[in-house]
Amino acid sequence: MAQTTASNPKISRRELRSRIPHYAALLVTGLLFLAPVAYMVAASLAPASDTLAGFTVFDVTQWGLHNYSGVASSLSSDSTGHLWRFFAVSFTVTVAVVGLGLIVNSMAAYALARLSWRGRAVALLAILLILIVPFEAVAVPMFYLYNDARNTLWIQILPFIGNALSIFLFYSFFTGIPRSIDEAARVDGAGPWRIFWQIIAPMSKPAYASVAILTFLTQWGSFLWPVLMISDPNLRPLPLQISVFAGQLPPAWGQVMAFGVLLVLPVIVVFLVFQRWFIEGVASSAVKG
């Protein structure tokens, strides 16, 4: 970067100087956004203390990993739940909802966008109507209707696979693909299934990436539904568990923050690895939608 700056005659010393306020603004806002995250990480490394520690958590000389081993040992019985199980539940639910959701919703979008069948117009209208029903509006009746399924894994997964927003995002992507492509394939004797799996789906990687990212973020942070349906510590997903853990008396704040770091770390790793896709995917799906 420095080389291109030096070799580029267009960037004058005046321009470099004008960048100083720009960088200053970036730095100040950046610190505001970073501070709560830094506080969480610092508090997770600070010495165990049952009172909140304020600034003292930033004392690097005192840092250690004992809060992390503390979390592992305090969450390791059937009454508290096991640390590994919270992860297992969150991973299973998220992977199932994202994976099955991608398949089911893209198939539906393909049928709506590119096949002609009886009831297509009605189905399309129904999807558009469902798009405006927020999950919050059906959470309470669902809590009553599916009460027998409380404390199961499938009730955390099944309601979130079919997703009108995902269908809509796939639909708008698929309608943008030229019709001539399927027609050429049909002339070659391919049926709708083959056209979908072998031609349309591979062409639509950006749509799959952005829907996967949006579903992953929503599902990993899912809270309202588990609050209503899950009381068994062996079936609690991570976001529900951290609220339970933080509400215990006396709260061990260092351990709560260590748990928070563990909860968000998988998302940050995914975020850093797929950074380009992450930001582009979110942006492109939203600008289109």
Show contacts with another protein in window 50-79 (CB under 8 A): 51-55
| End-to-end C-alpha distance for the chain, whole angstroms | 35
AA identity, residue 282: V
Q: Which of 22, 116, 189, 191 binds another protein (CB under 8 A)?
A: 22
Coil, helix or strand at residue 45:
helix
Could you tell me where the DSSP H helices lie in 179-274? Answer: 180-187, 192-194, 201-203, 205-220, 224-229, 238-246, 253-273
Alpha carbon 89 to its chain centroid, in Å, reads 15
The amino acid present at 172, given as its one-letter code, is S
| Among the listed residues 164, 169, 200, 230, the single contact to another protein using CB under 8 A | 164
Nearest CA to 263 out of 231, 240, 232 is that of 240
| H-state helical runs in 78-204 | 83-114, 120-130, 135-145, 154-157, 164-174, 180-187, 192-194, 201-203
Binding of another protein at residue 151 (CB under 8 A)? no
Q: Compute the least distance from the CB of residue 18 to another protein, in Å.
A: 11
CB of 224 to another protein, least distance (A): 6
Residue 1 CB, nearest distance to another protein (Å)? Answer: 4
| Residues 249-278 within binding reach of another protein (CB under 8 A) | 249, 251, 253, 256-257, 260, 263-264, 267-268, 271-272, 275, 278
Identity at 5, one-letter amino acid code: T
In the complex, least distance from residue 277 CB atom to another protein, rounded to whole angstroms: 12
User: In the complex with another protein, which residue's Cβ is closer, 72 or 100?
Assistant: 100
Which listed range, 34-42, 64-72, 75-83, 202-210, lies at the site for another protein (CB under 8 A)? Answer: 34-42
Query: Does residue number 203 form part of the binding site for another protein (CB under 8 A)?
Result: no
The least CB distance from residue 286 to another protein, in Å, is: 4
State which of residues 14, 33, 79, 116 lies at the interface with another protein (CB under 8 A): 33
Nearer to another protein by Cβ, of 84 and 154: the residue is: 154
Which among 89, 83, 111 has a CA at the least distance from the CA of 193? 111
Interface pick for another protein out of 149, 153, 158, 190 (rule CB under 8 A) = 158
DSSP, res 82 = E
**Which range in 29-37, 62-70, 80-88, 179-187 contacts another protein by CB under 8 A?**
29-37
Q: Determine which residue in the list 121, 126, 128, 184 makes contact with another protein, applying CB under 8 A.
A: 126
Contacts (CB under 8 A) with another protein, residues 76-115? 104-105, 107-108, 110-112, 115
Q: Which tokens in the block code for residue 159?
A: 């309601």
Distance CA 262, CA 264 (A): 6
Residue owning tokens 């129904």: 126
Q: Is the Cβ–Cβ distance between 58 and 40 less than 8 Å?
A: no
Task: Please say which residue, 130 or 181, places its beta carbon nearer to another protein.
Answer: 130
CB nearer to another protein: pick between 196 and 208: 196
Binding test (CB under 8 A) with another protein, winner from 45, 71, 75, 127: 127
Task: Give the interface size with another protein as a residue count (CB under 8 A).
Answer: 95
Query: Could you give the CA distance from residue 77 to residue 62 in angstroms, rounded to a whole number?
Result: 29
Nearest distance from C-beta of residue 64 to another protein, angstroms: 19
Residue 28: both structure tokens together: 């100040």
